[in-house]
Structure 1
Amino acid sequence: MVEVESHPNGSDIASLPPLIQLQFVSTTVLQQALDLVENILTSDDQLTAQSKFLPGSTIGKHLRHARDHFILLIECVSGPAPHIFSYDTRSRNTPMENNLSEAREALKQAISRVEEVVPTANLDLPLTLNAVTPFMQTFETTFGRELWFAGLHAVHHWSMVRVIAGELDIKLDDDFGFAPSTLIYKGSEALLGKAKI
């Protein structure tokens, strides 16, 4: 049994419906990125600095890539049936990749869309996911499963942001880029590490 402590607003997250718990994780992960661009990064150059260790990677590209997964999923679910989507239809080289102000607005928009759509969605809403692997594959999935994936996928990209930030001598919060299960295992007091297993 996993027990989750109270949300800062006083609600007991563990007692909330699973979809709202996933919304909490999603918005918390997106908020980490928003905090990064609002409070830690100080110049557009930090978004576009090329990593020496992750060729072709920049902080801006990782933020955009992960945010796009949330937006593609939310747009699919908020549209009419049949709910068919692909994570491979992302836009690249967008303004949020190289401009802090644009990144801030894009991340705020993603958080707003998650908060707007998730509470009225169905956890088990059937979705069809088309993926290039490089061979075209089609998978039947659900909204809940994909919202879970989007959150953990973002954490994976935040870990790469952590590597690039380290190259730039930028200090990040201790929980940035760590999966909730890792934070729980370490006994972290971070928001995503407050479950007791």
Structure 2
Amino acid sequence: MLTTSENLAQTHYPPQPTVATQGCIETLEQGYQFLQSITDEQYCYAAPPHITSTVGQHFRHLLDVFQAIYHADGIIDYNQRRRGDTVETSRQKAIAEIDEFIHWLNWIEPASLTKPVRMLTEVSLTQTEVCEMMSTQERELTFAALHATHHFAMAKATLSLHHVETDDALGYAPTTASYLRGK
């Protein structure tokens, strides 16, 4: 039986994050800081012919991956996309979504992360082929963070082609950061 103070602690304080959720939070915080450092105009930059998607489209896409996990009820459907949504042109909306995801990740119960979930994703370029496979929320959150890092790198490259400087570490994968710390 829990004492009143133990019950209050469980009710009013977030659980201790797992290594995976903490890494995911760090990744989202990097994206948040990046968005705070650029202008609304820069958020809408693309760099054709090299990079045809705007910074905002990259953020919409990576946020869609988090949305799929966040809204999953046992099934994570990565095929649900919000192409053309205002998050592609509204830096403030992207910032608000990142903030919401960070809050959610801070309150995830660690035990829920290892429960099985089904995951749906398209796998073919020539025809609509959807694979369904088993995973865990923790594995999918780890994927979402690594996937976000890739899109941060694309956003950084887009802005660099417009001569906009960004944080040197933006878009580095955790393994790259570890490698650079060891040099």
Q: TM-score range by the shorter chain?
A: 0.7 to 0.9
> What's the CA shift string for 1:57-109, capped at 9, x where partnerless?
11111111112211211221xx4xxx112111021122221122222212212
The residue identity in structure 2 corresponding to 1:26 is C
Matches of 1:151 and 1:96, distance apart in 2: 19
Q: After TM superposition, list the pairs within 5 Å mapping 1:23-102 onto structure 2.
A: 23-38=21-36, 40-42=37-39, 44-76=40-72, 79=73, 83-102=74-93
Matches of 2:146 and 2:88, distance apart in 1: 21
Matches of 1:102 and 1:54, distance apart in 2: 26
Matches of 1:121 and 1:163, distance apart in 2: 38
In structure 1, list runs of 5 or more residues that go unmatched.
1-15, 190-197
CA RMSD, 1 decimal: 2.2
Query: Residues 112 and 136 (structure 1 numbering): CA distance in 2 closer, same or farther, change over 3 Å?
Result: same
In structure 2, list runs of 5 or more residues that go unmatched.
1-14
What's the CA shift for 1:53?
4.6
Tell me which residue corresponds to 2:101: 110
Q: Are 1:72 and 1:85, in contact at CA under 8 Å, matched by a contact in 2? A: yes
Q: After TM superposition, list the pairs within 5 Å mapping 1:163-178 onto structure 2.
A: 163-178=157-172
What's the CA shift for 1:176?
0.5
Segments of 4+ moved more than 6 angstroms: none
What's the CA shift for 1:121?
4.6
Matches of 1:139 and 1:175, distance apart in 2: 33
Percent identical among aligned pairs is 25
Matches of 1:97 and 1:121, distance apart in 2: 34
Matches of 1:32 and 1:168, distance apart in 2: 21
Tell me which residue corresponds to 1:10: none
Q: Are 2:75 and 2:117, in contact at CA under 8 Å, matched by a contact in 1? A: yes
What is the TM-score with the length of structure 1 in the denominator? Answer: 0.76
Matches of 1:188 and 1:63, distance apart in 2: 30
Q: Are 1:30 and 1:67, in contact at CA under 8 Å, matched by a contact in 2? A: no
The residue identity in structure 2 corresponding to 1:60 is G
Matched, 1:160 2:154: yes
What's the CA shift for 1:119?
3.0
The residue identity in structure 2 corresponding to 1:48 is C
Matched, 1:122 2:112: yes
State the number of aligned residues.
Answer: 165
